Every structure is written in structure tokens, then in C-alpha cells.
A = this chain, B = another copy of it.
């Protein structure tokens, strides 16, 4: 998988773009000016692997909360601002690490210039974020009345040009839609047009159960093509779930280590042990493990060890018994009822070993 090399930016200590590690973002859904609640939510996001967090800044009390929130958290903080340039200036003053702001929505060129001057002075990147649902009427009209990839890209580039005119280039871009093919096509077009880092996401994807698949397909397809520098999964519900899903997407593509992996076969008419229960128990156990170990739970003795060659530890079911194997090598044969306790104790051993 060859990644497109984009312009390198920094949000606090976190690099975005260049060929730096792809980061996972989320957004709080507390009231930003309820400082303790916002900090508490961000700490929960950090604990599950959130790299960068964004807060809505709809009013001055929210902007004024930024320094206090930053005092309580460890990851870079982005302020999401619409329309009012004073909120951006206040957020910058309070030490925010990034802005999400579409300069075209601020309107007045002097106000845009004031924000850009302040951001530049502090080396704070700005994300241009265009959504399919809120495109300007004149751009929609030009593109047949519907959001198309060309319309999304044109809209985003309009905002980008406003920043470039002011010699500001620390820009990220997002082009979100809840329609996955539209999102994919839009980012592809943008990636072939500019070198700014891209922030990937499917917006309004739905609840955890329905939105996870849409996000995995859309964000995954782009990453697999080498497009994307930072990602945000949008789900209705606890943002902790967004962060977990985002990290699992990166993990699936080998772009991030994120806890242990279970390799388990779908079972078929050849399977002679109760594999689904075994796999479920192993998964429950692995939820408590942080180390990126691989554990295989395979139904058949012929293919099991071979299919799970690189697993740190695994079992392959036989008729009322199973083989324990490490890295594809069979270690011993045990009766079915001893498989689970043996595997669990092996997982304990592995997760306690030093790296």
C-alpha cells in the first residue's frame, strides 16, 4: 500500500500528514463550557486511543474554556468554529492546537485575515471541512443541483484559496457525506488535485451498529488506496465507540497496533468442537489485554495451525480434543474441556511477558 505523501503539519506534538502515522480523531458531545464533563469525556477518549480531539465552540464561554480543558488533557485540542471570527481569535489566544473553520463562512476579508494572522503566528493548522449537505447554493446549481465530487472539491478549494491568498498553507481538508461512494470519489479527486493532508470521515453514518460498516468501508477504501492522513468515525452515541472503530479500521489495514487480535474460523460441517463459545470466551478475555498478541481459535486440525501460522498462540479443534500451537507449531494435544482454561492461562502468560 503506497501512501500519498502530503504536506506535514503539527497539532501540538502530533504530526499529521507527510508520511507520519495516521491519527484517530473524535469530537466531544458534552457542552464545551462544562469544563469538567468535557475533560472527563476526553480522558475516556484518550484511554481508548484517541490521538486528537475536537470540541464545538458555538459561543464565547466555550472559547474561553479552551485553556482550562487543555490543562486537564494530554492530546491536541481542535476548536470547531462557524461564522464568528472572534471565537477563533479567542480559541487561538487560549492555546488551541488546531481550528476547523471555513473562511468563506466568515465572509468579511478583514476578519478572515485577522484569524489567519493569529493562526500563523502560533503555527496552528486550519481544517477546511466541507459537507455534502451544506454546500453553497451557487455551487450546487453549477453542478446540477446535487452534491457531486466536483462540487465538494470546488467548494473546499474555494475556502482553501482564501487561505492561500494570505500565504497560509497549514491546511487540512475534509469532504464529508453520508453517501459512501460520493465520499470516496470526492477524496480521490481532491487527493489528485492538492497535496494538503486529508481528514477522512463519513458523516451522519448512523448509530454504532449501522454506522460502523459504512465508516469501515468508506474510510478503509480510501486508506487502502493510500489516501488519508487522519480519520474520524462519526457515530451517534458515545464517542468512545468512534475511537475504537477508528483504531480498528487502522489495525485492519496494518496501519496501527491496537490491542490483541483474534483469528477464528467461521466453522463449517467439518468442525467437531464448540468453536463459537470458545471464541467468544477468548474474545472476552482479550478485551482485558492491551498487548498486541495474536490468538487463533480454529475449528479443524488440518488447516488450523497453518492458517494461523503467525499467531502467538492458538488451538485447533479435533474430535473431542484439540491441539495447542504456537506460531504454527503444534505443542500438545488436550481434551476439549481443557482447551479453554489452557488457552486463557497461555494468554495470561503472554500478556505479562515483557516486550
Contact = CB atoms under 8 A, between A and B. Distances in A.
A134 B248 CA distance: 26
A167 interface: no
A204 B29 contact: no
B217 A306 contact: no
Identical copies in the complex: 2
Q: Which label, helix, strand, loop or mixed, suits the secondary structure of the A interface?
A: mixed
Residue from A30, A57, A132, A211 having most chain B Cβ neighbours under 10 A: A211
Contacts of A263: 178, 204, 206
Contact of A58 (B262, B270, B298): B270
Contacts of A57: 269
Given A217-B252, A253-B217, A269 B58 contact: yes
A207 B279 contact: yes
Given A204-B265, A218-B220, 12 more contacts: A1-B184, A28-B269, A55-B269, A133-B309, A178-B307, A181-B254, A203-B307, A213-B249, A214-B252, A217-B223, A217-B252, A236-B267
19 contacts: A28-B268, A28-B269, A55-B269, A56-B270, A57-B269, A131-B303, A134-B307, A180-B253, A206-B261, A206-B263, A207-B276, A210-B261, A212-B212, A213-B249, A214-B248, A214-B252, A216-B216, A216-B220, A221-B225
